[in-house]
Amino acid sequence: MCSEIAACALAMGMLIAVSVFAQDPRTKPDNASQTAPTAQAQPPHRIRVKEVVQKAKLVHTVSPLYPPLTDKRVDGTVVLHVVIGKNGAVHSARYVSGPTNLMNSAVKAVLQWRYEPTLVNGVGVEVDTTVSVVFPSPVKQEPPTANN
């Protein structure tokens, strides 16, 4: 009979493919992983946070020192890629952009900064963010004027 059905299907210009797979009763169905509760998911080890959001958690800063320069004081903003530990201490600070002669001063200062710990589902996580360290323009002193 099976060959008659196949012959009829081919004669009618149709190709029918039939497959039957037996499932081993000892195996779990594929949807078993979809029913696992999400509450058991591990919290992330490190999260990315925007600079402005992380800045709100800043609890201790150290101002950078201007490096000794020969002829003038340079201003500008140094951007650093920073990793903050689970306890809120800065673990690493790597130069991204800005005046290179201010880079070391910025890194030394930021490595001493401290943030409130960041928690995800009550568990401390590391934070990956950027920090902009602003070196303001030197204040120009006006020459004294004679009011006599």
> Does the pLDDT value for residue 86 go beyond 70?
yes
Dump pLDDT digits (tens) for 19-42.
Answer: 444 445 555 555 555 555 555 567
Q: What is the pLDDT of residue 130?
A: 97
Query: In the chain, pLDDT over 90 holds for what percent of residues?
Result: 51
User: Helices (H) and strands (E) in the chain — how many of each?
Assistant: 3, 7
Cα distance between residue 113 and residue 119, in whole Å: 18
pLDDT for 93 beyond 70: yes
- Domain ranges for the chain, please list them: 43-135
Q: Which of 92, 84, 93 is nearest to 117 (CA)?
A: 84
Q: What is the pTM of this model?
A: 0.64
Burial of 32 (0-12, 13-18, 19+ CB in 10 A): exposed
34-82 tens-digit pLDDT: 555 555 567 678 999 999 999 999 999 999 988 876 567 778 999 999 9
Amino acid in the structure at residue 55: K
The predicted structure's pLDDT at residue 26: 55
Q: Give the DSSP H or E segment for 132.
A: strand 123-135
Per the rule left: phi > 0, alpha: psi between -120 and 50, beta: everything else, 76 is left
Instruction: Indicate the pLDDT class of residue 143, thresholds 50, 70 and 90.
Output: low
Q: What is the H or E stretch that residue 83 is in?
A: strand 76-84
Collapsing DSSP to helix, strand or coil, 92 comes out as strand
The mean pLDDT of the chain is 77
Q: Is the pLDDT of residue 142 over 70?
A: no
43-135 topology per CATH: TolA/TonB C-terminal domain (3.30.2420)
